[in-house]
Structure 1
Amino acid sequence: MPQSDLTTRVHALNDRYRHHSAVSVLEHALRDPQAGKLALVSSFGAESVVLLHMVSVTRRDTPVIFIDTEMLFAETLVYQQELAERLNLSGLRIIRADAGDLRAQDPDATLHQRDTNACCALRKSAPLQRALAGIDGWITGRKRYQSGTRAALDFFEVEDETGRIKVNPLAHWAPEDIRTYMDENRLPRHPLVARGYPSIGCMPCTTPVAPGEDPRSGRWRDQDKTECGIHFVNGKMVRKGVSA
């Protein structure tokens, strides 16, 4: 589809659902022909259970893509298994980097120590793009409050590089909205949240966050990097200082 047509579709979707709730945005997106065939990409991280639960009660067979970088916390892997069973996520797909690519580019699993961008591209971005083949768009759990680079996030956006739509149902939610939804639906927390991890990625690149810090400050701490690279804005991978 021409880029101009895709942009027009996204603008129309944002106008149509601008005043809808997160649940309504998700429900309509999963059924709106303008949004196309969607998949939920989930890290099964600190707040992932909210969207996973919404999908489970809205359209349980929605494809759910979980990227196992093989560098995740053991707690994340256990949490993923428990949630998938509890929510009966029939569309769950667990993806990993190509074994040949790993042997060629990161044979000793130390690439993250030399080049975090290259590691993310190998273990996250490349597997995700393969998994999204044939998918028109994907649902993310990103929110405006998570960092300054996400402050202008809208419900729908264009991924210029791939010609896909991204749906961000929780874009306008505040931390208290997340907590309230979890409490009302009695959803289990990721065990690392209680230990000071409000944003959880790969074990080597995630540290606890002190009170008052940006929730994502523990991701790639002390590096000029704020995103893993799976999000595209204006035709470029989001690495730093870009809304995504």
Structure 2
Amino acid sequence: MSLAFDADVALPEAADLHRRLADASPAEVIATALATVGRDRLAVVSSFGTESAVLLKIVADVDPAIPVVFLDTGWLFQETLDYRDTLTRRLGLRDVRTVSPDSERLAATDPERDLWYSDADACCRIRKVEPLARALAPFAGWINGRKRFQGGARAAIPVVEADGARLKFNPLAAVSADELAAIFKLADLPPHPLAASGFASVGCMPCTSRAQPGEDARTGRWRGRGKTECGIHTIATS
């Protein structure tokens, strides 16, 4: 049975689920999310980036009909859009929902499409944070692919946390880079088309660069801007 959550309920519920699932496998976390929230109130948010295939494979193995929300910011590489289509077919995902920024908001705030240069945080807000908040409005819980080994603000993420009035599930939180690579290889998952060109983490075109040897994967995101997150994981979506 699906449960309705509000901010007063989500926090203790998340803490309890985190304790229960701290050592659970990613598949067990996703299955518990499904049982707790219900398929009609649960969404997976995926960038279809370089590491996304692993989470989507596990989701598909648990239930390929769980809705998957994909943000098309208007600045994505064509290779990412193609990869979305490839993985959707390959994994048999049944409900991939592509959401976009509000066109009127873009026309008023970013008419020259140069906001990414003058104010990257504002650009992320109108192209990612606001569209995702609208897309998640019907849901009581969501799943994402953050991992602790990515460092920064992600180094201590729990398996389950409260995101405003929602439950937020991080099934890959404790997975290591080596374990991720092993799952990728074992499942024979296709790589993101840009991975072979040195893109270790892929976001929007203007704010993504290749990672240099020895750099962390996400160093190529917003390089030199003192920015490490777009905002969807640091601003409550409720």
Q: Deviations over 1:114-165 (max 9, x none)?
A: 11011101111111111111101110100001122211011101113xx111
Please name the residue that 1:26 is paired with.
30
Number of aligned residue pairs? 234
Match of 2:99 among 95, 102, 112: 95
Match of 1:115 among 112, 115, 119: 119
Could you tell me the percent identity over the aligned residues?
44
Match of 1:200 among 190, 199, 202: 202
Q: Deviations over 1:198-228 (max 9, x none)?
A: 1110010001111221221111000121100
User: 1:216 aligns to what SS in structure 2?
Assistant: helix
Q: Deviations over 1:1-23 (max 9, x none)?
A: 55443211011101111221111
Does the Cα contact within 8 Å between 1:40 and 1:138 map onto a contact in 2? Answer: yes
Q: Distance in 2 between matches of 1:27 and 1:71?
A: 33
Does the Cα contact within 8 Å between 1:75 and 1:191 map onto a contact in 2? Answer: yes
Gaps of 5+ in 2: none
Gaps of 5+ in 1: 237-244
Please name the residue that 1:8 is paired with.
12
Q: Which has the higher helix share?
A: 2
The 5 A counterparts of 1:70-81 are 70-81=74-85
Q: Deviations over 1:153-193 (max 9, x none)?
A: 11101113xx1111000000111111111111111010212
Please name the residue that 2:221 is paired with.
219
User: 2:132 aligns to what SS in structure 1?
Assistant: helix
Runs of 4+ in 1 over 4 A off after TM superposition: 33-36
1:145 and 2:149 are equivalent in the alignment? yes
Does the Cα contact within 8 Å between 1:42 and 1:66 map onto a contact in 2? Answer: yes
Q: Distance in 2 between matches of 1:14 and 1:35?
A: 20
Please name the residue that 1:241 is paired with.
none
Letter in 2 for 1:101: R
RMSD value, Cα: 1.9
Q: Highest relative contact order (Cα 8 Å, sep 6+), 1 or 2?
A: 2
